[in-house]
Amino acid sequence: MFRMRYVFVLLLSLLLAAAPALAAMAGGPRMTLEQSIDAVIGILKNPGMAGQDKDKPRRVKLIEAIDGVFDAAELARRAVTRDWDKFTPDQKTRFTEAFARLLERTYMDRIESYTDQQVEYLGETLYGDDKAEVATKIVSKGVDIPIGYRMIKKDGWRVYDVVIEGVSLVQNYRTQFGQILLKETPEQLIGRVANMTAPQAEKK
């Protein structure tokens, strides 16, 4: 439990950047990740953004930065894989938005609990001209956690999946969503995902 808790802190931290311009900067996938880490940790360690009274502005700053390096549309498409063609253009847009909100709600508290874990870069592997995987490991109190970041090149490098100790974030959701879509429509799936982030759901 402890291991996964702090791993997710770094997971989403790497999917956020302090400014959308970072993803558009020249450089390879590894450089993009390193820049993103530095920027996010800067937000989390900024004394001016600390304290409960800064919760909202801090979260707004982090959420606004998601599009910088996190490709929500690509992750959403891969999370439903072959069923994506069953979605209308409008449904694809609404599903992507609902899924992004679900990820934000699920992991934001863990992002903000970041302390001093260290990230080591083990290398990057390019697959053609537009895909890559950056291998890293998280080091904290003598425990090493391998994490791979799968990226696609779209006006800069963006993350579309994270693999923690061999377990893919996209695959986890793909299994869940696939089971739902065996019995329900894309519209019903969108409703389910949206309800998970509705105000009444947050109170439970």
Q: pLDDT tens digits, residue range 143-179?
A: 888 889 999 998 889 889 988 888 898 999 999 999 9
Structural domain spans, the chain = 2-198
Q: How far is CA 182 from CA 78, 96, 175, 190, in A?
A: 16, 19, 11, 14
pLDDT of residue 34: 79
Q: Which helix (H) or strand (E) holds 158?
A: strand 157-164
Cβ neighbours for 6, distance < 8 A, ≥ 6 positions apart: 110, 113, 117, 138, 140
Pull the structure tokens for residue 161: 């999946």
pLDDT band of residue 115 (cuts 50, 70, 90) is: low
Question: How far apart are the two ends of the chain, measured CA to CA in Å?
Answer: 22
- Dihedral angle, C-alpha 50, 53, 57, 63, nearest 10 °: 70
Angle between helices 186-196 and 169-181 (to 10 degrees): 130
Digit-coded pLDDT (tens) for 58-99 = 666 666 655 567 788 999 999 999 999 999 999 999 999 999
Q: Where are the strands (E) in 15-61, listed by range? A: none
**What distance separates the 2 farthest-apart alpha carbons in the chain?**
49
| Contact in structure between 36 and 22 (CB atoms under 8 Å) | yes
CATH number for the domain formed by residue range(s) 2-198? 3.10.450.710
